[in-house]
Amino acid sequence: MSISFVTLGTTAGLLLLATLPAAAQTPDSAATRTRPKGTLIKLGTGIVPPGLEVSGYRGISVPVVVSIEHYLSSQVSVYANGFSGFKLGSSRFIEYQKAGFGYYGFDAGIRYYYNQEKRRRKGRASGPFVGNYVALQTSSVFRASSYSDYRYSGLTAVWGMQRRLGKYGWLDAYAGAGIGRFAQKYYITDFTGTQYGILPELGIKFSLGSRLTH
């Protein structure tokens, strides 16, 4: 049931966002003529819950994120992230957790970088993979545990901004909310089911990355 829920929502979002560039740009605009292409791969960390944990019970966990983003047109890209919280400290309940990492999961979605032409005219940061964006994404999160691994999955709408930091650095900050499917009593061996609720999305990522194509 969760696969159908996420798939239908993502498909609707793809169709909606795919129509935005045509409506937002005139045929003779610089953004339309340029049609930037490329694939960006990044490796980073940051304040990315889940993944970042400082707890006397679970120890210290630092997120590591591997990202890939591919431009479809002058303003639209698709992306995917894989992430995990690698444990640096000891846990009082280590016997209930698989060693090495805590939370792990992935997300994928589509981004629309808006006002690119306006930002260029004002001399602001713009171009491939740079600017303010809105996005629709689906995500799934798990916890490495001796009990049930599943934590939650969901479909969220996100507003964010991505900027370059020097030659290889990248900053990606975002916030949003959506609908989530959460495990009920996921830490109990006899898994009892799921429930739906509001799923917040908030994070700041600092990464090193490079474009594969130009």
Q: For the segment 57-115, what is each residue's pLDDT rounded down to a tens digit?
A: 556 778 899 999 999 988 999 999 999 887 776 555 554 455 566 788 999 999 999 99
Beta-carbon count within 10 A of 132 CB: 18
Under the banding of pLDDT at 50, 70 and 90, the label for residue 143 is confident
- DSSP reduced 3-state for 121: helix
Q: How confident is the model at residue 55 (pLDDT cuts 50, 70, 90)?
A: low
Geometric angle at alpha carbon 163, from 159 and 166, rounded to 5°: 165
Point out which residues pair with 209 in neighbouring strands: 42
Q: What is the pTM of this model?
A: 0.74
149 falls in which pLDDT band (50, 70, 90)? confident
Q: What is the band of 26 on the pLDDT scale with cuts at 50, 70, 90?
A: very low
Please count the CA atoms within 13 angstroms of the CA of 67 that sit on its side-chain side.
27
d(C-alpha 86, C-alpha 58), whole Å: 12
Max Cα-Cα span within the chain: 63
198: nearest Cα among 183, 186, 182, 212: 182
Domains of the chain listed by start with CATH number? 2-25+35-211 (2.40.160)
Q: Which of 2-6, 35-39, 61-65 has the highest mean pLDDT?
A: 61-65
CA 142 to chain centroid, in Å, comes to 15
Alpha carbon 81 to its chain's center? 6
Please tell me the least confidently modeled range out of 17-21, 29-33, 127-131, 159-163: 29-33
pLDDT at residue 32 in the model: 41
Q: How far is CA 119 from the centre of its chain?
A: 24
Backbone torsions φ then ψ of 22, nearest 5 degrees: -65, -35
Where on the phi/psi map is residue 180: left (φ > 0), alpha (ψ -120 to 50), or beta?
A: beta
Q: Which residue has the tokens 């560039």?
A: 21
Ranges assigned E (strand) in the chain: 39-47, 53-55, 59-71, 76-87, 101-113, 131-143, 150-165, 169-183, 194-211
